[in-house]
Amino acid sequence: MASVRTDQKKRALVRHVPETFTRALAKYFGTGPTDVALARRQHQAYIDALEANGVRVHAIEADDRHPDCIFVEDQAVVIDGRMLLPMPGHPSRVAEQPPIADFLMAELDGVQTCTMGGEARMDGGDIIRLGDLFYVGKSSRTNELGINSLRSLLETSDMELRVIQIPENALHLTSITSTPTDEIILVPEGYLSPEDFGPLPEGCELIWIPSEEAYGCNTIGLPNGKVMVAKGYPTVHQALRERGLELIELDMSEIRAADGSLTCCSIFY
């Protein structure tokens, strides 16, 4: 998940692909998945890659009532021993949360947990973290009240929160950015501008990627220094290799078809 530092990615929660995956929401990168068996193979390759690179993975059973249930990132935000259980921004996704919350509360025994009430809405996919600097997307899924809940969670820490307005042609902040290391943010041209991010901490940089590779900007940096990337985004791959990073390429075609990216499929805790 995007809310932990790279060195904290020791354990990940994922959820298997439901039989109903072809009915997952799709409006941005995808027009909807068509091949559940292929999606399952791609999802298993994702799990295998995490495990082969030192991450302990726990997989929750799929729930056919919830076509989007593999996208666990949206359902819980774990930050340094605290957890926010957001109210998901799309009504069809609200009931995905209870088994994820139950698992994380049991695993993170005694974790300080905040929930959202009233009109507050947030998808975890609107959060990225660069060291102790957080960015949250204000999007069709995340509103000002939801952002205030995250602000409350962070206010007793030394961490800073900045808000980025997500353009209408993107779902989440993580749909178009990621932090493959704690010093780099990948960003597609034409979606966001340097002003959206403000001044970065010393030694950090924004890497601008052509807009046609926007999907490839979502990556997962691992504690062993390797970076999980989607196959087929050569400019992203070259930019990361030039910075000495070793890549793990995964075919994400059926997951992309449901507007899902690499980070969407896990919660690091």
What gap in Å lies between CA 163 and CA 147, rounded to an integer? 8
Binding mask 31-50 for ligand GLY (x = CB under 6 A): --------------------
Work out whether 18 is an interface residue with ligand GLY (CB under 6 A).
no
Tally Cβ neighbours within 10 Å of residue 29: 20
As a whole number of Å, the end-to-end CA separation of the chain is: 8
Q: Give the residue with the Cβ less far from ligand GLY, 24 or 79.
A: 24
User: Which residues, in sequence order, are bridge partners of residue 232?
Assistant: none
Minimum distance, C-beta of residue 243 to ligand GLY, in the bound complex (Å)? 30
Cβ-proximal residue to ligand GLY, closest one: 25
Site for ligand GLY in 126-155 (CB under 6 A): none
Work out whether 258 is an interface residue with ligand GLY (CB under 6 A).
yes
Minimum distance, C-beta of residue 23 to ligand GLY, in the bound complex (Å)? 10
Output the six-digit token pair for 43: 């999802």
**Which range touches ligand GLY (CB under 6 A), out of 10-18, 19-27, 128-136, 210-218?**
19-27
**Which range touches ligand GLY (CB under 6 A), out of 114-122, 157-165, 199-207, 254-262?**
254-262
237 and 269 in contact (C-beta within 8 Å)? no
Which of 11, 13, 68, 250 is the binder for ligand GLY (CB under 6 A)?
68
Binding mask 93-112 for ligand GLY (x = CB under 6 A): x-------------------
Tally Cβ neighbours within 10 Å of residue 51: 12
What gap in Å lies between CA 65 and CA 232, rounded to an integer? 32
Work out whether 24 is an interface residue with ligand GLY (CB under 6 A).
yes
Minimum distance, C-beta of residue 25 to ligand GLY, in the bound complex (Å)? 3
Going from the C-alpha of 70 to that of each of 40, 84, 140, 203, 236, the distances in angstroms are 10, 19, 20, 35, 25
**Which range touches ligand GLY (CB under 6 A), out of 109-117, 154-162, 212-220, 256-264?**
256-264
Output the six-digit token pair for 256: 């992309």
According to DSSP, the β-strands at 184-188 and 178-181 are: antiparallel
At CA 127, angle to CA 125 and CA 129, rounded to 5? 135
Which of 8, 20, 22, 25 is the binder for ligand GLY (CB under 6 A)?
25
Going by C-beta distance under 8 Å and a sequence separation of 6 or more, which residues neighbour residue 158? 132
Q: Of 175, 77, 74, which Cα lies nearest the Cα of 123? A: 74
Work out whether 260 is an interface residue with ligand GLY (CB under 6 A).
yes
Work out whether 73 is an interface residue with ligand GLY (CB under 6 A).
no
In the complex, which residues of this chain contact ligand GLY (CB under 6 A)?
24-26, 68, 71, 90, 93, 171, 258-260
